[in-house]
Amino acid sequence: MARESISTNTKRKLWSQCGGFCQNPSCNKYLFSDIGDESVSIANAAHIIGAGNTGPRSEHALADSIQKNGTSNLIMLCLDCHKMIDELEDKYSVEKISEWKE
């Protein structure tokens, strides 16, 4: 089954929140890369609590007021940081990632 997509409005809010920079405070990479005359997004909207039943940090239950694809459960990261938090989930807890948004 295909994963539910993130709405355009939610993506806009995430871009507004991050100001164009990775929200991992130890990274803070600009989320666009210039390749010649082109500017390419290197951003990913990452789930703080996993979207699926088996994804990273999916063992945490979402509060009734939080939508899995809502801005409170998403964070804008560069591709490297998104991969890092998902592969090293024991090091990057829901609490730690949530702090990055504050």
Spell out the long-range contacts of 10-16 with Cβ–Cβ below 8 A and sequence spacing 24 or more.
10/45, 10/69, 10/70, 10/71, 10/74, 11/45, 13/71, 14/45, 14/71, 14/74, 14/75, 14/76, 15/43, 15/76
Q: Look at residue 1 and tell me whether its pLDDT is greater than 50.
A: no
Tens of pLDDT, residues 38-84: 999 999 999 998 776 666 666 666 655 568 888 999 999 999 999 99
- Take residue 10 and report the two structure tokens written for it: 């939610």
Q: What percentage of residues in the chain have a pLDDT greater than 70?
A: 82
pLDDT band at 89 (very low <50, low <70, confident <90, very high): confident
Please state whether the predicted TM-score (pTM) of the whole model is above 0.75: yes
DSSP 8-state assignment for residue 19: T
